[in-house]
């Protein structure tokens, strides 16, 4: 089998893009004092990108080895597996207090899932989508987080 070094270099460049976008989201979580922060989001985004790219490479390699029509591959299965795996990791970030009245970590879990999706977008060469979704996520986490805190403070003042 002939190794395509230009494709492998492209994957390494995509890895840099994925960790940059994941890092932006992780930086926000880190700044907010959350458990899954900078490095975690970078690794999730990178891993998702790499799973998709390697899956596509496997499909391409197998298609070259088998006669036409003998191989039936569905690249969306990789994305399904990623969603399950990242959801499992996200579940580990969610905690309920002893009284059962409050939960923590839901936003972080959702952020990890979003970081995985951004990695998938990078893997399939959707850089504008990846960048746009990163910015949208940053807006949701940063700006709407402040709005949410102000709203909770106002509710506490009214009830107290």
pTM for this model (two decimals): 0.70
Q: What is the pLDDT of residue 55?
A: 81
Reported confidence tier of residue 16, pLDDT bands at 50, 70, 90:
very high
Q: What is the pLDDT of residue 14?
A: 93
- Averaged over 95-103, what is the pLDDT? 74
- Averaged over 96-103, what is the pLDDT? 73
Domain ranges of the chain: 5-159
Reported confidence tier of residue 160, pLDDT bands at 50, 70, 90:
low
Q: What is the pLDDT of residue 51?
A: 85
**Which range, 56-60, 78-82, 119-123, is most confident?**
119-123
Q: What tokens were used for 12? A: 């390494």
Q: What percent of the chain has pLDDT over 90?
A: 14
- For the chain, give the mean pLDDT: 83
Would you say residue 1 has pLDDT above 60?
A: no
Q: How many CB atoms lie within 10 A of CB 41?
A: 31
């Amino acid at each position: 089998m002939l190794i395509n070094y230009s494709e492998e270099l492209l994957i390494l460049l995509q890895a840099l893009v994925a960790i940059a976008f994941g890092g932006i989201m992780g930086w926000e979580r880190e700044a907010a004092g959350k458990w899954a922060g900078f490095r975690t989001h970078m690794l999730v985004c990178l891993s998702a990108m790499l799973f998709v790219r390697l899956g596509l490479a496997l499909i391409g390699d197998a298609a070259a080895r088998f006669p036409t029509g003998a191989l039936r591959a569905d690249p969306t299965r990789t994305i399904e597996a990623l969603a399950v795996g990242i959801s499992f990791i996200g579940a580990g970030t969610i905690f309920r207090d002893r009284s059962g009245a409050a939960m923590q970590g839901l936003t972080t879990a959702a952020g990890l899932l979003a970081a995985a999706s951004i990695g998938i977008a990078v893997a399939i060469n959707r850089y504008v989508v990846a960048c746009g979704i990163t910015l949208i996520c940053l807006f949701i986490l940063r700006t709407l987080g402040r709005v949410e805190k102000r709203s909770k403070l106002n509710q506490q003042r009214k009830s107290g």
